[in-house]
């Protein structure tokens, strides 16, 4: 019996789960929760993305608002795996302080470590990131470290005990896509821990190209939150991540700069 | 001694006058916040939740009340 067009044979698309720090995820997409126009749209977009892990930030409660609503009024920690970040920190000490506060919230000991080195580009301060990573892993944190697309730093972060290393595709919020696919591939080739590309993905093709480099996953926020229709874009990203992953697993044809006919050259009519 | 004693604390970056008899827990509740969703840093040290009830708020304390917000 032949299969219907478009029938999904599950074994044809089988993939191993993404395992980070002993925790297994089906989705290779991790999404942020910032910058959405409203909370209901954020929740719908995140559900549409299929992401299981979502990032959150640690901030002061705004006491001037009569009824402050933190993110947990909208996103249930039972539905999503919370990954708190140290976004906005410019020193190792600040990042460590934020990480400890995040852990004290009582959900888990995971942290997305981010130490920014420059306000204009938001590029990471890799020396401070490494310093903070060593301290935090020593305190039992599971550290997923945001870093530059620099192989040596990535190797040092792995040595420091990070459960995942997260090189940028391009600057945070830029939407420029992967500016240096060669270095992303090189980092993936050399590291044993999962490599998650974090920051810079702008649209579905960027996500797909990123996954085609062989990395384990992608973390994005602005690409969804700043789309005209975040929910529709979230669907697009879910497909793009899957498409890129499958293409990587499938193994692409060699590219060459000459044409090769697809149809037989023999058997042509006189 | 006056009945309405107040103390001055530095709360989330702002100086505030609050009642002198607050514990951390009653302070949080007086601000209409849920203690279970808040993390407290008292004079740069994280205060574990089981201590909210007992920990007194003292004149000159620096207190940070933080929680999770949207972020990437």
Q: What is the ipTM of this complex?
A: 0.92
Which residue from A128, A124, A44, A123 is spatially nearest to A79, judged by alpha carbons? A44
Residue A3: per-residue pLDDT = 60
pLDDT in tens, B48-63: 999 999 999 999 999 9
* Average pLDDT for chain A: 94
Q: What is the average per-residue pLDDT within A211-238?
A: 98
Chain B residues near residue A82 by CB distance under 8 angstroms: 68
Residues of chain B with pLDDT under 50: 1
Active site residue A112: yes
Q: What is the pLDDT of residues A245-267, one digit of tens each?
A: 999 999 999 999 999 999 999 99
> What residue spans define the domains of chain A?
16-250
- Min CA distance, A86 vs chain B (Å)? 10
Which backbone phi and psi does A21 adopt, to 5 degrees?
A: 55, 35
Average pLDDT over residues A231-254: 97
Q: For residue A31, give the H/E element and its range.
A: strand A29-31
Q: What residues of B are in contact with residue A55 (Cβ under 8 Å)?
A: 71-72
Determine the Cα–Cα distance for residues A111 and A131; give it in Å rounded to an integer.
15
Q: How many cross-chain Cβ pairs, A to B, lie less than 8 Å apart? A: 94
**Residue A66 C-alpha, separation from nearest chain B C-alpha, in angstroms:** 8
Output the pLDDT for position B13: 95
* Interchain contact A269–B (C-beta under 8 A): no
Q: In terms of CA atoms, which chain B residue is nearest residue A58?
A: B68
Give CA–CA dist A201/A226, Å, rounded. 12
Catalytic-role residue among A112, A142, A188, A266: A112
**Which residues lie below 8 Å from residue A199, measured CB to CB, with a gap of 6+?**
A146, A168, A169, A170, A171, A172, A173, A174, A219, A220, B72
pLDDT of the residue at A4: 72
Closest in B31, B39, B64 to A105, CB measured = B39
Please name each of the domains of chain B with its CATH number.
6-66 (3.10.20.30)
From the options 3.30.360.10, 3.40.50.620, 3.20.20.70, 3.40.50.80, give the CATH code of A16-250: 3.20.20.70
Contacts of A172 in chain B (CB under 8 A): 72
Compute the nearest-CA separation of A244 from chain B (Å).
22
Let me know: does A176 contact A200? Beta carbons within 8 Å: yes
Q: Does B32 touch chain A (CB under 8 A)?
A: yes
Q: Which of A32, A71, A221 sits opposite B68 (nearest CB)?
A: A71
> Does A55 contact B at CB distance below 8 Å?
yes
- Is A63's Cβ below 8 Å from some Cβ in B? yes
Q: In a 3-state reduction of DSSP, which class is residue A189?
A: helix
Whole-angstrom Cα distance, residue A178 to residue B45? 40
Q: Would you say residue A209 has pLDDT above 50?
A: yes
β-strands A110-113, A142-147 pairing: parallel
pLDDT value, residue A21: 97
Give the bridge partners for B10, in sequence order.
B15, B62
Q: Do B71 and A87 touch (CB under 8 A)?
A: yes
Confidence of residue A67 (pLDDT cuts 50, 70, 90): low
Q: DSSP letter string over A15-29?
A: -PPEEETTEEES--E
């Amino acid at each position: 019996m032949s299969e219907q067009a478009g029938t999904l044979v599950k074994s044809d698309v089988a993939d191993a789960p993404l395992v980070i720090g002993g925790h297994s995820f089906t989705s290779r997409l991790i999404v942020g929760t910032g910058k959405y126009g409203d909370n209901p749209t954020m929740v719908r977009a995140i559900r549409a993305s299929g992401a299981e892990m979502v990032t959150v930030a640690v901030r002061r409660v705004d006491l001037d608002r009569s009824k402050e609503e933190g993110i947990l009024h909208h996103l249930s920690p039972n539905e999503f795996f919370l990954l708190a970040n140290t976004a906005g920190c410019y020193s190792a000490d600040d990042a460590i302080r934020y990480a400890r506060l995040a852990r004290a919230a009582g959900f888990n000991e995971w942290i997305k470590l981010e130490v920014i080195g420059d306000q204009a580009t938001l590029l990471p301060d890799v020396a401070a990131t490494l310093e903070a990573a060593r301290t935090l892993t020593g305190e039992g944190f599971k550290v997923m470290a945001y870093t530059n697309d620099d192989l040596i730093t990535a190797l040092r972060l792995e040595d420091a005990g990070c459960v995942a290393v997260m090189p940028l595709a391009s600057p945070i919020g830029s939407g420029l896509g992967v500016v240096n696919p060669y270095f992303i591939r090189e980092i993936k080739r050399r590291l044993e821990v999962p490599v998650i590309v974090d920051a810079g993905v702008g649209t579905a093709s960027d996500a797909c190209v990123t996954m085609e480099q062989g990395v384990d996953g992608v973390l994005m926020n602005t690409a969804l939150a700043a789309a005209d229709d975040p929910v529709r874009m979230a669907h697009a990203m879910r497909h793009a991540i899957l498409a890129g992953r499958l293409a990587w697993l499938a193994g692409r044809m060699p590219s060459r700069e000459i044409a090769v006919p697809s149809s037989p050259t023999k058997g042509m009519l006189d | 001694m006056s009945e309405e004693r107040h103390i001055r604390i530095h709360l989330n970056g702002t100086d505030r006058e609050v009642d002198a008899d607050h514990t951390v827990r009653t302070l949080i509740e007086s601000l209409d916040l849920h203690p279970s969703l808040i993390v407290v840093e008292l004079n740069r040290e994280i205060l574990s939740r089981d201590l909210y009830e007992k920990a007194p708020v003292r004149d000159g304390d620096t207190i940070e009340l933080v929680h999770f917000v949207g972020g990437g």
